[in-house]
Structure 1
Amino acid sequence: MSTAFWQLFSLSAKAVGVLSAFVLAKGVLWLVNLLVIAPRRDPLRFLPGPDGSAFQSHFNEVNDPDITPTVYRDWRKLFGKTFRYHGYGKHDYRLMSFDMRVLSHVLSSPVYEKPWQTRHYLGRLLGRGVFNMEGAEHKAIRKLIGPAFTAQAVKGMTPIFFQKAEELRDRWDALLSTATLTASHTEGLPAATLDVAHWISRTTFDIFGLAGFDYHFNAMHNETEQVYSAYRRMFAISDKASQLRVLKQLYLPILEKIWPNEDDKTTQQCLKIIRECGMGLIQSKREIIMAEKVDFRLEEKDILSLLIKSNLSNEPSNRLSDAELLDQLSSFLFAGSDSTALTITWCLYLLSKYPDVQTRLRAEILTTPAPDAVPSKRNSTSSTSSSLQADAIEALPFLDAVVRETLRVIPSVHGTVRVATTDDLIPVSYPVVLRTGEIVHENEHIHIRKGSFVHIPLEGVNLSEDIWGSDAREFNPDRWASLPTPAKSPAFPGVANVMSFSFSGHSCPGYRFSLSEIKIVIATLLPQFVFSPVDGLEIGKYNSVLTRPFVRDQLQSGGIQLPLKITRYVE
């Protein structure tokens, strides 16, 4: 080989060596800054809070629903309402507060956003929907989807809620007809053990299919329906994902394309099925709406129709593409189906644990008049009957108390996180005693730097003894009879006076939809059935994206489930 070649090779090797040394040096500097320099400049280091070794994390303490109520109570006693804990180690200070002024500031200020990690993880499964948008884009989407979730719009969807709730009631009644007699009930009535979580999930999926897309998933009758099956398989994989897999998805997403494992392949197949079906629904619905000309006097009240009509009413430059519309609907399907299903499931579980409450609630529901017919969204007479029935159910005070108490005790979302996009001053309403001995008094501020994480303990606030009293961790619907008028008492935070729907600009836009659906399903099932715990089975809470039920010692083998014993109610 020529001398020139070897000279070129030598220069290239030196260049690679220099580049490698530069990259290594930058890596070392980054690590030194992360572990040594930045923590010493972090104002959160002065806040009180639990200590630990260099790489000790408190993630288990703040994410495990089995222990967080006790951990939070102990931390509040030791450190006050506002403190810091360790994220990935002693260098990673994270703010947590039970001071509603702090939480209100963080959830209301444009300074704080969902971390890119959270948005990326949700976006991978749901697209860029309203729940992982921020800033002006988030406000624009909220304005666009607002008409789909007004009180009037939700009332127009109640015939669907009744229709599917009654289908579920009839399916369970048919299963009881084939059940054998059991000696565990003195009445000698047929009893069946049903996975309530599974059945309720199928029901709410069907409800949102009709209310959201005007599409019949028929998941209650056919679990192999491709969209429902794809959705369930995808989230089953997500729920069981290890921390290592999540980190790989966040920081090395290219690996899923280069070396996909079976879970990666299945997830991509599921996403393809869901998107192909969704795009077809959007295109066909737009054609129907456009055929109505510019007045958009279409009688359909599903969310997709309302979104498309609202979208077409915008200036062309502000309109969403079909892909963006689908992302919004995917987000609603997740929030409106899964989270609502979990609240109904947990409500039935709590009623089974508190039979006196179940009896009182059933007696109240039985005072409402029965609907004249099985409602249909295209039958105006049935729709009117359903609307009146929905109003009657909405007016039941004890049902409202039971639903709110369920949302308070077991919110579908355990907690959420925000990140500061700039340095900020956060006002406090309760004193914070710093490690230096100084006191941050009421109406003063604590400092937080850009990039710091703030943990919002949704369940923690819901179960705080400082707000709800010494029995805060107990299921007690009667507490709602003595609370101040909603929205007039800052002591009881959030939408519907609980943090389960969050509050301010990032509160759940579909909370009315969810509350109405929950109440109608409960009011349809309870007059027909008695719910009891299954002997020998202990139910636990599994905190993934949402808080799901499982049978203790059966999470790996049985997955997400909540078996209950069901018998017919006989007066």
Structure 2
Amino acid sequence: MLNPLKLLLLAIVLVVGRGLLWIVNLLVVAPLFDPLRKLPGPPGPFFFSHIQSVVKPSYPSPDLSATQHEEWKKQYGKTFRYHGSGKFDYRLMTFDLRAVSHILMSPIYQKPRVTRTFLSTMLGQGIFTTEGAEHAFQRKIIGPAFNLQSIKTLTPIFLRTAEELRDKWDVIVSNGQETIDVCHWISRATFDAFGMACLTYNFRAIHGETEELYLAFRRMFDLADKKGILRILVPILDKFWPDKIVRSVLESRQVIYATGRRLISEKKSTILADKGSSNVSNERDLLSLLIQSNLCTNDPTKALSDPELLDQISSFFFAGSDTTALSLSWCLYFLALHPDIQTRLREELNHPTTLEPTSSQGFNFEDRAYDMLESFSLLDSVVRETLRLAPPVHGTLRVATQNDLIPVSEPVVLTNGTVVAPGEYIQIRKGSIIHIPIEGLNFAKDIWSEDTLQFRPDRWCSLPPVAQPPNFPGLANLMTFSFGPSSCPGYRFTITEMKAFLSTILPHYTFSVPEGQTISKRNGLFTRPFVKGKSKMGVQLPLTVKHIDEYSP
């Protein structure tokens, strides 16, 4: 009979042996049988990674990832493999729209578990962290909150918040001209807009960053980019050895959930009171719409629980507020770089089209506000061109949950000389990672023409034929919002909010880049701006803001 010490030593040997077998399989055996090994792609030493080449920012410098993408496509075709963590980690990248469509439309491909676990530590189990049937269920529940009529209802909120920001800038630019970090200020404003649109809750962040719930959201989201790669890859560390970042995120979530539970209780009471008195609830914010949807069903399996409601709200604040603020900031930067386009857009906004009444009863303000924004053709083109040239998310990953065959529309020449012809398939095995290059597809010359790195809104008036087949109605092959079951449900929300802010701000101010300043990108969870040579100062986008004389206070 073995004594306890020998049993312990045997257990250690078994654990170590199993670990060694796992490492040998990961580094040596599995790669030998990986179908992606046969695909063409850039070479590299055993532990060399191409990830930096894949994610390096590309605007305004044309010699980084955009050029890298084009070089790889010229060398290896539109579908190739690259090394992730090392040569043993084969990953698929494709610019073939047929392959991209298959991957994003198929339930076989999901966000990697590591990504979902990381996001769920901040957002809970919301629509951006779930997959499969749960994701489809949540999307069905929240869909009506982002339909066209809902966006029309929210448009006046966007406009009023934009006016508050304009009035605040009037005070800051009281001497006629001032350099303003537009990214910081617009981030505060979009938080206010989201607060009213999602919760009917006024953070008043434009007037001061002191409100407890705002600070909790802001702190949690800012910490997301600072989390170490080890803790992202090994999330169990957060449970047993929480560091300062983890503890701060947990404290922020406690504030958010405490306030959220109170808001849900208050809104339920209001909605039930209106329902009991046969009144129609006037609450049109996202949370109220979700609660009303819950109350309309007697089947609890078709409703979101209170914690799930809070997770949805956190998800939309995270994915919507920051991304919209970044898109607006980049838009002002592009307009500052192109004063001729800025002048043209201001002229359009100063001469709105006269709209016909929406009914025999006259103008409906909600519809009129939305329709007025939609009537500005150059504004629409400027917003879309900004979203193309500066997508808030650089790229996205998917993992194959089972072996699959991916169709291609352009030939793929394998390393053994075999040609996978258009209409045929490439093999991929369960567990393989696919990189969807959102920015790369938005910059693809064969889709958008040779001047793809130029800010040219007029391209949207006459898109090349290959850019016209819509993934979203009217958005052409713009990949910024992705498409398919995991596409962003709030794309109308973002576009309308951007238009509302631009239409309110541009008639009052001109924007220019301070002399000697260059703005660059930094890719993390989102693509954020910083001043070249001053990256230690963090995210910022300073622009010179000048009053237009006839609107000076």
Q: Cα offset for 1:136? A: 1.0
Please say if 1:441 is aligned against 2:421.
yes
SS at match of 1:509: coil
Q: Which moved more, 1:261-270 or 1:465-474?
A: 261-270
Tell me what 2:358 maps to. none
Q: 1:36-75 to 2 correspondence within 5 Å? A: 36-66=28-58, 67-75=64-72
Q: Please, which of 168, 172, 188 is the counterpart of residue 202 of structure 1?
A: 188
Q: Cα offset for 1:258? A: 4.2
Tell me what 1:3 maps to. none
Q: 1:520-559 to 2 correspondence within 5 Å? A: 520-556=500-536, 558-559=537-538
Please say if 1:400 is aligned against 2:357.
no
Q: Which amino acid is the alignment partner of residue 308 of structure 1?
A: I
CA contact (8 A) 1:82 1:432 kept: yes
Q: 1:246-261 to 2 correspondence within 5 Å? A: 246-253=229-236, 255-261=237-243
Q: 1:205-284 to 2 correspondence within 5 Å? A: 205-241=191-227, 245-253=228-236, 255-284=237-266
Q: Which moved more, 1:262-271 or 1:59-68?
A: 262-271
CA contact (8 A) 2:155 2:369 kept: no
Please say if 1:163 is aligned against 2:160.
yes
CA contact (8 A) 1:249 1:256 kept: no
Tell me how many residue pairs correspond in the alignment.
Answer: 538
Whole-Å separation in 2 of the counterparts to 1:494 and 1:138: 25
Whole-Å separation in 2 of the counterparts to 1:541 and 1:223: 25
Tell me what 1:76 maps to. 73
Which string of whole-angstrom CA distances, capped at 9 and with x for unpartnered residues, describes residues 54-100 of structure 1? 10011101111132101101100100000000000000000000000
Whole-Å separation in 1 of the counterparts to 2:310 and 2:352: 38
Q: Please, which of 75, 88, 112 is the counterpart of residue 115 of structure 1?
A: 112
Tell me what 1:12 maps to. 4
Whole-Å separation in 2 of the counterparts to 1:470 and 1:112: 32
Whole-Å separation in 1 of the counterparts to 2:193 and 2:466: 29
SS at match of 1:560: coil
Tell me what 1:342 maps to. 326
SS at match of 1:536: coil
Q: Which moved more, 1:422-431 or 1:297-306?
A: 297-306
Kindly, what percent of the aligned residue pairs are identical?
A: 51
Cα distance change on mapping 1:323 and 1:311 into 2, 3 Å? same
Cα distance change on mapping 1:363 and 1:471 into 2, 3 Å? same
Whole-Å separation in 2 of the counterparts to 1:281 and 1:154: 22
Q: Please, which of 285, 296, 305 is the counterpart of residue 288 of structure 2?
A: 305
Tell me what 2:121 maps to. 124
Cα distance change on mapping 1:74 and 1:232 into 2, 3 Å? same
Cα distance change on mapping 1:494 and 1:413 into 2, 3 Å? farther
Q: Which moved more, 1:474-483 or 1:102-111?
A: 474-483
Whole-Å separation in 2 of the counterparts to 1:357 and 1:82: 36
Please say if 1:570 is aligned against 2:549.
yes
Whole-Å separation in 2 of the counterparts to 1:86 and 1:296: 61
CA contact (8 A) 2:118 2:235 kept: no
Q: Which moved more, 1:384-393 or 1:523-532?
A: 384-393
Whole-Å separation in 2 of the counterparts to 1:167 and 1:158: 15
Whole-Å separation in 2 of the counterparts to 1:172 and 1:383: 31
Which string of whole-angstrom CA distances, capped at 9 and with x for unpartnered residues, describes residues 456-491 of structure 1? 000000000011111011111111111279996269
Whole-Å separation in 1 of the counterparts to 2:354 and 2:318: 31
How does the TM-score come out when normalised to structure 2? 0.93
SS at match of 1:122: helix
Q: Which amino acid is the alignment partner of residue 323 of structure 1?
A: P
Whole-Å separation in 2 of the counterparts to 1:306 and 1:476: 38
SS at match of 2:242: coil
Q: Cα offset for 1:167? A: 0.4
SS at match of 1:292: helix
Whole-Å separation in 2 of the counterparts to 1:325 and 1:382: 37
CA contact (8 A) 1:159 1:387 kept: no
Whole-Å separation in 2 of the counterparts to 1:539 and 1:37: 45
Cα distance change on mapping 1:480 and 1:492 into 2, 3 Å? farther
Tell me what 2:20 maps to. 28
Cα distance change on mapping 1:486 and 1:25 into 2, 3 Å? closer
Whole-Å separation in 1 of the counterparts to 2:474 and 2:379: 19
Q: Cα offset for 1:447? A: 0.1
Q: Cα offset for 1:230? A: 1.8
Q: Cα offset for 1:213? A: 0.4
How does the TM-score come out when normalised to structure 1? 0.91
Q: Please, which of 373, 389, 403 is the counterpart of residue 369 of structure 2?
A: 389
Q: Cα offset for 1:385? A: 3.1
CA contact (8 A) 1:344 1:518 kept: yes
Tell me what 2:312 maps to. 328
SS at match of 1:194: strand
Whole-Å separation in 1 of the counterparts to 2:516 and 2:266: 51
Q: Which amino acid is the alignment partner of residue 77 of structure 1?
A: K
SS at match of 2:435: strand
Q: Cα offset for 1:312? A: 1.9
Cα distance change on mapping 1:436 and 1:491 into 2, 3 Å? farther
Whole-Å separation in 1 of the counterparts to 2:400 and 2:233: 20
Q: Which amino acid is the alignment partner of residue 274 of structure 1?
A: I
Q: Cα offset for 1:386? A: 4.9
Q: Cα offset for 1:297? A: 2.2
Tell me what 2:61 maps to. none
Q: Which amino acid is the alignment partner of residue 46 of structure 1?
A: K
Q: CA RMSD in A?
A: 2.2
SS at match of 2:485: helix
Which string of whole-angstrom CA distances, capped at 9 and with x for unpartnered residues, describes residues 164-200 of structure 1? 00000111011111x3xxxxxxxxxx21011100010
Whole-Å separation in 2 of the counterparts to 1:539 and 1:459: 18
Cα distance change on mapping 1:529 and 1:55 into 2, 3 Å? same
CA contact (8 A) 2:114 2:233 kept: yes
SS at match of 2:431: coil
Q: 1:399-548 to 2 correspondence within 5 Å? A: 399-483=379-463, 489=469, 495=475, 497-548=477-528
Whole-Å separation in 2 of the counterparts to 1:168 and 1:78: 49
Whole-Å separation in 1 of the counterparts to 2:279 and 2:3: 70
Q: Which amino acid is the alignment partner of residue 58 of structure 1?
A: H
Q: Which amino acid is the alignment partner of residue 27 of structure 2?
A: L
Whole-Å separation in 1 of the counterparts to 2:307 and 2:189: 26
Whole-Å separation in 2 of the counterparts to 1:93 and 1:383: 58
Unaligned runs of 5+ in 2: 59-63, 356-360
Q: Cα offset for 1:235? A: 2.2
Q: Which amino acid is the alignment partner of residue 394 of structure 1?
A: E
Q: Please, which of 342, 349, 354 is the counterpart of residue 365 of structure 1?
A: 349
